[in-house]
């Protein structure tokens, strides 16, 4: 996809030094550098998750006999198997899978918005930005439901050694496994969710600017491209979270 900004080389494209490093505009290059640092933050979270996971014993029985216990790390597909309006039906990973598809699709509509921006097609930019914002909001809604389910827990709860029963998870107790498991769930998906939220806010800003004609008067739609980079990064992080938190 030739998504390179097709700007004419003019005075305003040059940096103050008079040249354009990497043939990328200042804004795009700085967005890339920000994304690298953000990638390091997320890598640190996911690696920390791996470390804490492997310092706990794993579950080594068969899946059908699996029950929640504080003494080993839970199997993710046994924790995340609920789906809205299907109470009590075991649908392992179906809901997170749906969330993954939603986020990938909103990334696709973002690329289409960038492509429309290159053609100076304001109506198409507006249309695809609206779809992108819609996808982001849907993802956030799904995440809110998932958190709520995770916090409230299953009907049966988990019985501790002292006979007490705990339901759901918070930062102190956790029915699904060691307390660290819930802490990482909140931290990693929460930090990602906050990125999605910021992304939706930025997307809305760009949508607004496109709609009132600010971008058209500026002569190019490069802002769509820069915010698009951020939005794809959010999708990219989710691909990794999905694998390392939910699948492995």
Partner 1 sequence: MIEPEISSINPEPADKSKIWKIWKVAIILGLVTAAEFYVALQFPESWKSFKIFLFIGMTFVKAGYIIGEFMHLAHEQKSLMWTILIPCVFVVWLLGALFIQADAIYQAIYS
Q: Compute the distance between CA of residue 206 and CA of residue 63 in angstroms, rounded to an integer.
A: 47
Half-sphere exposure of 170 (CA within 13 A, CB side): 4
Rounded to whole angstroms, the Cα distance separating 61 from 32 reads 45
What is the Cα–Cα distance from 192 to 187, expressed in whole angstroms? 8
**Distance set, CA 15 to CA 22, 122, 130, 158, 181 (Å):** 12, 27, 32, 61, 47
Query: CB 152 → partner 1: shortest distance, Å?
Result: 25
What part of residues 64-83 is at the interface with partner 1 (CB under 8 A)?
Answer: 77
Distance in angstroms (rounded) separating the CA atoms of residues 215 and 150:
42
Choosing from 144, 160, 201, 214, the residue that interacts with partner 1 (CB under 8 A) is 214
Tell me how far CA of residue 20 lies from CA of 24, 33, 218, in angstroms. Answer: 6, 16, 20
Binding status of residue 192 toward partner 1 by CB under 8 A: no
The piece of 82-90, 161-169, 191-199, 214-222 that touches partner 1 (CB under 8 A) is 214-222
**Closest separation in Å from C-beta 123 to partner 1:** 8
Select from 7, 52, 142, 151 the one that contacts partner 1 (CB under 8 A): 52
In the complex with partner 1, which residue's Cβ is closer, 22 or 85? 22
Phi and psi of 9, rounded to 5°? -70, 110
Site for partner 1 contains 93 (CB under 8 A): yes
Cα–Cα dist 206/220, whole Å: 13
Q: Judged by CB, which is closer to partner 1: 26, or 164?
A: 26
Q: Which is nearer to partner 1, 68 or 233 (CB)?
A: 233
- Chain positions contacting partner 1, by CB under 8 A: 1-4, 22-24, 29, 32, 36, 39-40, 43-44, 47-48, 50-52, 54-57, 62-63, 77, 92-93, 97, 100-101, 104-105, 107-108, 110-112, 115-116, 119-124, 212-214, 216-217, 229, 232-233, 235-236, 239-240, 242-243, 247-248
């Amino acid at each position: 996809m030739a998504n390179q900004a097709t700007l004419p080389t003019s005075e305003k494209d040059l940096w103050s030094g008079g040249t354009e490093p990497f043939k990328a505009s200042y804004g795009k290059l700085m967005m890339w550098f920000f994304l690298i640092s953000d990638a390091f933050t997320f890598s640190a979270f996911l690696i920390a998750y791996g470390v804490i996971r492997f310092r706990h014993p794993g579950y080594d029985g068969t899946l059908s006999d699996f029950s929640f216990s504080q003494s080993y790390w839970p199997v993710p597909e046994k924790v995340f198997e609920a789906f809205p309006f299907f109470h009590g039906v075991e649908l392992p990973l179906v809901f997170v899978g749906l969330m993954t598809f939603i986020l990938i699709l909103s990334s696709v509509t973002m690329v289409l918005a960038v492509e429309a921006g290159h053609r100076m097609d304001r109506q198409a930019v507006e249309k695809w930005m609206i779809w992108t914002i819609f996808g982001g909001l849907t993802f956030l809604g799904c995440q809110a439901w998932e958190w709520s389910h995770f916090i409230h827990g299953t009907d049966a709860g988990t019985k501790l050694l002292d006979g007490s029963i705990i339901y759901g998870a918070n930062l102190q107790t956790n029915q699904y496994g060691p307390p660290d498991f819930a802490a990482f769930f909140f931290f990693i998906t929460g930090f990602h969710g906050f990125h999605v939220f910021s992304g939706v806010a930025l997307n809305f800003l760009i949508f607004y600017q496109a709609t009132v004609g600010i971008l058209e008067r500026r002569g190019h739609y490069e802002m769509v491209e820069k915010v698009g980079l951020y939005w794809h990064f959010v999708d990219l992080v989710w691909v990794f979270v999905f694998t390392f938190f939910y699948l492995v």
